[in-house]
């Protein structure tokens, strides 16, 4: 019930990503979207999404482009129900949707994908009334890992984001205080980066 509802709402965040993916990057941005869902697609926005689309298609080379939209996962095997990969600028919108439906935040964390030149920030949500674990994840440039904060929506994210900044150096734009929380107050290193040496 809840899962279907939240999947549908999160799916709406992907509308322009789909358009960007469906129109080939080289072609002019005016090419008509197949679904014809959004008629007022601003060309600038479409252009801004293009690098993301390109990056995604690089991830799954040639065979099959990665499916766009929140993916239902096998709960027994994975331990969560819904997995939504989003570009960093849409994380806040996703958190707002989840907050509106009464989800609580379990944790925020990162993963360093050094070989791919990327950082991943992962948000775990769960619901008190109905079992529904939602994972929001976003890939960031490893050289400039930045993502907007959700600590104004989920105050609990404040410490989790600070910790993630401690460990990975991921900057949460708009966070009130990113000073080291668990590391020493003068720490200028990020121990969970794969190239960290003590």
Partner 1 sequence: MNGTLQQDLNQETFVLNLGPQHPATHGVLRVKLVMDGEYIVEAEPVLGYIHRMHEKMGENRTWAQFLPNCGRMDYLSALSYNHGYVAAVERAAGIEVPERAEYLRVITVELNRISSHLLWFGAFVLDLGGFTPLLYAFDDREMILDLLESVTGSRLTYCYFRFGGVYNDIDDAFIAGTREFIKRQRKRMPMYDALVTKNIILIKRLKDIGPISKDMARRYGATGPVARGSGINFDVRKHEPYSVYSEFDFDVPVYEEGDSMARYMVRMDEIEQSMRIIEQALDKLPEGEIQPKKAVKLVKPEKGDYYHAVEAARGSFGVRLVSDGTNSAYRLKLRSPTYSNLSLFGEAARGMLLPDALALMGSLDLVIPEIDR
- Point out which residues bind partner 1 (CB under 8 A): 76-80, 102-107, 109, 111-112, 122, 124, 126, 128, 131, 133, 135, 154-156, 158-159, 167, 176, 180-184, 191-192
To partner 1, the closest distance from the beta carbon of 102 in angstroms equals 7
* Cβ proximity to partner 1, 109 vs 138, nearer residue: 109
Q: Is 83 helix (H, G, I), strand (E, B) or coil?
A: strand
The least distance separating partner 1 from the CB of residue 3, rounded to whole angstroms, comes to 14
β-pair type (118-127, 171-173): unpaired
> Strand, helix or coil at 178?
coil
Give the nearer residue to partner 1 in terms of CB position, either 29 or 189.
Answer: 189
Per-residue buried b or exposed e for 24-38, using 16+ beta carbons within 10 Å of the residue's own CB: eeeeebeeebeeeee
- Residue 111 Cβ vs partner 1, minimum distance, rounded to whole Å: 5
Residues 130/154, Cβ–Cβ less than 8 Å:
no
Nearest residue (CB) to partner 1, 61 versus 184: 184
By the 10 Å C-beta count (0-12 exposed, 13-18 middle, 19+ buried), 150 is classed as buried
Cβ closer to partner 1: 5 or 78? 78
């Amino acid at each position: 019930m809840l899962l279907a509802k939240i999947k549908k709402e999160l799916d709406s965040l992907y509308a322009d990503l789909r358009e960007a993916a469906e129109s080939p990057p080289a072609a002019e941005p005016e090419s008509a979207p197949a679904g014809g869902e959004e008629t007022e697609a601003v060309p600038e926005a479409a252009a801004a999404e293009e690098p993301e689309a390109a990056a995604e298609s690089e991830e799954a080379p040639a065979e099959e482009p990665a499916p766009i939209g929140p993916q239902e996962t096998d709960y027994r095997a994975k331990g969560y129900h819904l997995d939504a990969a989003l570009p960093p600028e849409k994380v806040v919108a996703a958190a707002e949707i989840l907050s509106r439906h009464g989800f609580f935040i379990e944790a925020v964390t990162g993963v360093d994908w050094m070989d791919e030149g990327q950082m991943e920030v992962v948000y775990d949500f769960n619901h008190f009334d109905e079992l529904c674990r939602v994972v929001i994840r976003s890939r960031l440039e490893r050289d400039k890992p930045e993502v907007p904060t959700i600590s104004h929506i989920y105050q609990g994210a404040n410490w989790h984001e600070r910790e993630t900044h401690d460990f990975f150096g991921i900057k949460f734009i708009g966070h009130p205080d990113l000073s080291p929380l668990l590391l020493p107050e003068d720490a200028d290193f990020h121990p969970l980066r794969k190239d960290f040496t003590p």
